């Protein structure tokens, strides 16, 4: 993992909902996030000025913020052959110097003056695929394992570009964001370990019923499919 002493926020991004024919069942999305200047208030449900259209899958207290590493965006730039500005993946917080997908479920960060906790990975959905307009995007994003992290807000505050990201605490039971995505897609052993992690998102209990049930019956789960349902973290 990169030296967390150098970790910082390089962009804070917000967006408003707009109609889009490709945007899943709601035909509306706020995935188009744009960098905003100055410190932004961080509340229990997210950033001031940011809209979450599909709150069950992309919002609420346990997915108040979505963080993605600039290093991972640059990895995708090389593979897609196109520029990806901060906010392109719908992230609220673009970081530098922090291996976001290597963060632990339940890990606690300070972002500016706010304190947040890592809860779940981003599981790609049809809205993300429609927005990116890349062939087999759901599978490609899932297979790459560079999911980014959803965050709950433990202490409200403010965050702005240039603020440090400080890791305040890590749980005793270690499941990384990347490993939690593998648990979602059917790794029963990782799922059992994840259920022991304090600070995990509550949706994991529902997802575990499906994953462990499939494991008990001998069925697997293909990457990009997952158990789905209203318990799906991210999108």
- CATH number, domain of 52, equals 2.40.33.20
Contact between 92 and 47 (Cβ < 8 Å): yes
- Domain annotation covers residue 188: no
- Domain annotation covers residue 133: yes
- Domain annotation covers residue 95: yes
pLDDT given at position 82: 97
Contact between 46 and 34 (Cβ < 8 Å): no
- Domain annotation covers residue 222: no
- Domain annotation covers residue 163: yes
Could you tell me the CA-to-CA distances from 133 to 29, 126, 137, 138 in Å, in that order?
15, 10, 8, 10
pLDDT given at position 55: 66
Nearest CA-CA partner of 155 in 114, 189, 108, 192: 114
Count of structural domains, the chain = 1
- Domain annotation covers residue 198: no
pLDDT given at position 226: 58
Instruction: Quick: pLDDT tens for 19-45.
Output: 888 887 878 889 999 999 989 999 999
| Residue ranges, the chain, pLDDT below 50 | 1-3, 222-224, 228-232
pLDDT given at position 23: 81
Contact between 152 and 119 (Cβ < 8 Å): yes
- Domain annotation covers residue 225: no
pLDDT given at position 13: 98
Give the separation between CA 88 and CA 68, rounded to whole angstroms.
10
Instruction: Quick: pLDDT tens for 189-208.
Output: 999 999 999 999 999 999 99
Q: Structural domain of residue 54, as residue ranges? A: 4-178
Residue 103 tokens read as: 């963060």
Instruction: Quick: pLDDT tens for 53-74.
Output: 776 666 789 999 999 999 999 9
pLDDT given at position 6: 87
Give the separation between CA 100 and CA 119, rounded to whole angstroms.
12
The pTM for the full model equals 0.90
- Domain annotation covers residue 78: yes
Give the separation between CA 41 and CA 43, rounded to whole angstroms.
6
């Amino acid at each position: 993992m990169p030296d967390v002493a150098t970790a910082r926020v390089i962009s804070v991004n917000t967006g408003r909902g707009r109609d889009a024919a490709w945007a899943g069942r709601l035909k509306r999305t706020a995935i188009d996030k744009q960098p905003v200047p100055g410190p932004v208030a961080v509340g229990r449900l997210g950033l001031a000025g940011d809209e979450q259209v599909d709150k069950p899958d992309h919002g609420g207290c346990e997915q108040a913020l979505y963080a993605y590493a600039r290093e991972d965006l640059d990895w995708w730039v090389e593979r897609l052959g196109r520029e990806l500005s901060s906010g392109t993946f719908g992230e609220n917080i673009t970081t530098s110097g922090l291996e976001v997908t290597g963060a632990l479920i339940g890990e606690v960060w300070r972002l500016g003056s706010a304190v947040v906790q890592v809860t779940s990975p981003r599981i790609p959905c049809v809205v993300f695929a429609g927005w990116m307009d890349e062939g087999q995007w759901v599978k490609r994003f899932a297979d790459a394992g560079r999911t980014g992290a959803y965050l709950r807000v433990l202490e409200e505050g403010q965050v702005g570009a240039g603020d440090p990201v400080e890791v305040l605490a890590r749980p005793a039971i270690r499941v990384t964001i990347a490993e939690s995505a593998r648990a979602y897609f059917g790794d029963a052993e990782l799922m059992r370990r994840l259920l022991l992690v304090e600070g995990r998102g509550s949706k994991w209990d529902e997802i575990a019923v499906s994953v462990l049930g499939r494991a008990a019956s001998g069925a697997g789960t293909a990457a990009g499919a997952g158990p789905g349902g209203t318990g799906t973290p991210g999108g």
